[in-house]
């Protein structure tokens, strides 16, 4: 497997200037995959090609996209394709770059997905704060309509599709797919019970595919070049390329598209130019705030879904945050908790109360008023949250705190040293 990409599959704007412009996109084989699909492929062939390519969801869970599409019932109408462009995980900023710099790739991916599942309407749900992203995206949608790639009877095929852009108000929970659907329907952005799953009863209780921006942007390459070409990149079980948003204490933070399976060390040292001032890596949050923290000794782990789990963490949405020896890891853990406290939607008490208490205990410790009992209390609180939260947001809180306590206990103890215990 080659570590360096000969060309970008998703980040084509890095190879071709002004690809956000529809004429430039068309010149670079843009909308050819859609034309091929509409002219030569049955809907099921599109799904099968995506299945064969092994494209996995890039929003975090890594669920195979083609398999998800095949769950959509054939005989219920209307059906919807919803694009998760809420991108709120701390440290993730990849979808934004796709939408700003190569928006037609996403639109073509949506059209292919809609054709495959028989949907004639699609909604892109984005973060309201990203106005600089969504203005050009709306322009791209308008241009695609003008060129006949969206709208009624696309390219004379009989297939029709409308895409609407919907901006949320910037809530992390609205990235959770069922909360997103509620928000899209004008309800409070809180998660729904599952089952029923969105594939069966999603938007307006109709069959709905929900995919991440990067996932759908991977589809045109697969349809144009075939599953085998896609599988030349990545590993057997994690095929293709993935965009990693690298941030934290590195010299060159940014988005990097790499074949899945590339060593973490390559991302940090070669792409990111290493750690600032040549310091030692003390920890890595490979999937933003929701990650189990990996110690600095895990740099040789490969960035694919399986290897990351084997190393005790997860690939998630690929937001790699690097902590070095200048970082107080208790402070870093508190920052994550502040985020989760702010973003907890309040629907279930383990998450609502758990994040509240974690924030209060972490604040006490970081302010220098904590005791050893408080450190023990952190473990008790996450023990009460684990497995009891209504949705994954609350569950995301647990691994970060647990691994932080495991890896950096000496720092916790140092911060509470000398403080008197409260009487029992």
Ligand X SMILES: Cc1cc2nc3c(=O)[nH]c(=O)nc-3n(C[C@H](O)[C@H](O)[C@H](O)COP(=O)(O)O)c2cc1C
3-class SS at 420? coil
| The two structure tokens encoding residue 330 | 């208790």
Q: Near ligand X by CB under 6 A, which window of 114-122, 168-176, 241-249, 401-409?
A: 168-176
Q: How far is the CB of 274 from ligand X (least distance, A)?
A: 29
Collect contacts of 414-418 with beta carbons under 8 A, ≥24 apart.
Answer: 415/330, 415/365, 415/366, 415/368, 415/370, 416/365, 416/370, 416/371, 416/372, 416/374, 416/375
Under 8 Å between Cβ of 389 and 357: no
The answer to whether residue 60 forms part of the interface with ligand X (CB under 6 A) is yes
The answer to whether residue 173 forms part of the interface with ligand X (CB under 6 A) is yes
Size of the site for ligand X (CB under 6 A): 23
For residue 396, the Cα-to-chain-centroid distance in whole angstroms is: 14
Q: Which residue among 30, 54, 59, 399 contacts ligand X (CB under 6 A)? A: 59
Alpha-carbon span 336 to 319, nearest angstrom: 14
Of 379, 378, 384, 376, the residue nearest 421 (C-alpha): 376
The answer to whether residue 61 forms part of the interface with ligand X (CB under 6 A) is yes
The answer to whether residue 355 forms part of the interface with ligand X (CB under 6 A) is no
The answer to whether residue 175 forms part of the interface with ligand X (CB under 6 A) is yes
Q: How far is the CB of 139 from ligand X (least distance, A)?
A: 23
Of 64, 74, 67, 24, the residue nearest 47 (C-alpha): 67
End-to-end CA distance of the chain: give it in Å, rounded.
Answer: 58
The answer to whether residue 192 forms part of the interface with ligand X (CB under 6 A) is no
| The two structure tokens encoding residue 196 | 């029923």
Nearer residue to ligand X within complex by CB, 49 or 324: 49
Q: Near ligand X by CB under 6 A, which window of 81-89, 222-230, 324-332, 355-363?
A: 81-89
The answer to whether residue 51 forms part of the interface with ligand X (CB under 6 A) is no
Nearer residue to ligand X within complex by CB, 52 or 407: 52
Q: Which residue among 58, 302, 341, 347 contacts ligand X (CB under 6 A)? A: 58
Q: Near ligand X by CB under 6 A, which window of 242-250, 253-261, 345-353, 387-395?
A: 387-395
| The two structure tokens encoding residue 55 | 């494209």
* Other CB atoms within 10 Å distance of the CB of residue 69: 23
| The two structure tokens encoding residue 288 | 């933003």
Q: How far is the CB of 243 from ligand X (least distance, A)?
A: 12
The answer to whether residue 172 forms part of the interface with ligand X (CB under 6 A) is yes
Footprint of ligand X on this chain (CB under 6 A)? Answer: 57-61, 63, 84, 86-89, 172-173, 175-177, 210-212, 215, 391-393
């Amino acid at each position: 497997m080659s570590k360096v990409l000969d060309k970008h599959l998703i980040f084509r704007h890095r190879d071709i200037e002004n690809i956000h412009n529809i004429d430039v996109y068309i010149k670079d084989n843009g909308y050819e995959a859609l034309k091929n699909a509409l002219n030569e492929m049955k809907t099921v062939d599109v799904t099968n090609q995506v299945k064969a390519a092994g494209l996995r969801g890039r929003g975090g869970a890594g669920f195979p996209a083609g398999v998800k599409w095949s769950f959509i019932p054939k005989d219920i109408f209307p059906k919807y394709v919803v694009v998760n462009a809420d991108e709120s995980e701390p440290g993730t900023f990849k979808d934004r770059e796709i939408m700003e710099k190569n928006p037609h790739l996403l639109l073509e991916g949506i059209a292919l997905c809609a054709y495959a599942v028989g949907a004639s309407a699609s909604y892109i749900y984005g973060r309201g704060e990203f106005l600089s992203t969504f203005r050009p995206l709306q322009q791209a949608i308008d241009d695609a309509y003008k060129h006949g790639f969206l709208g009624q009877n696309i390219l004379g095929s009989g297939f029709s599709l409308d895409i609407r852009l919907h901006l949320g108000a910037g809530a992390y929970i609205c990235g959770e797919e069922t909360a997103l659907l509620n928000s899209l329907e004008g309800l409070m952005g809180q998660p729904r019970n599952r089952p029923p799953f969105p594939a069966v009863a999603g938007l307006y209780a109709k069959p709905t595919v929900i995919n991440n921006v990067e996932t759908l942007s991977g589809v045109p390459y697969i349809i144009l070049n075939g599953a085998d070409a896609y599988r030349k990149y990545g590993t057997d079980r994690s095929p293709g390329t993935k965009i990693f948003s690298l941030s934290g204490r590195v010299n060159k933070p940014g988005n990097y598209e790499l074949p899945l399976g590339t060593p973490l060390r390559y991302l940090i040292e070669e792409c990111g130019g290493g750690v600032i001032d040549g310091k030692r890596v003390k920890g890595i949050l490979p999937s933003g705030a929701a990650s189990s923290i990996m110690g600095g000794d895990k740099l040789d782990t490969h960035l694919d879904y399986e290897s990351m789990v084997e190393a005790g963490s997860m690939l998630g949405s690929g937001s790699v945050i690097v902590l070095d020896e200048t970082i107080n890891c208790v402070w870093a853990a508190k920052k994550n908790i502040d985020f989760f406290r702010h973003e907890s939607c309040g629907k279930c008490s383990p998450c609502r109360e758990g994040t509240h208490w974690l924030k209060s205990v972490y604040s006490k410790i970081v302010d220098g008023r904590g005791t050893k009992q408080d450190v023990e209390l952190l473990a008790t609180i996450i023990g009460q949250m684990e497995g009891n939260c209504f949705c994954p947001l609350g569950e995301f809180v647990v691994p970060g705190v647990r691994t932080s306590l495991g890896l950096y206990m000496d720092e916790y103890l140092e911060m509470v040293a000398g403080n008197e215990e409260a009487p029992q």
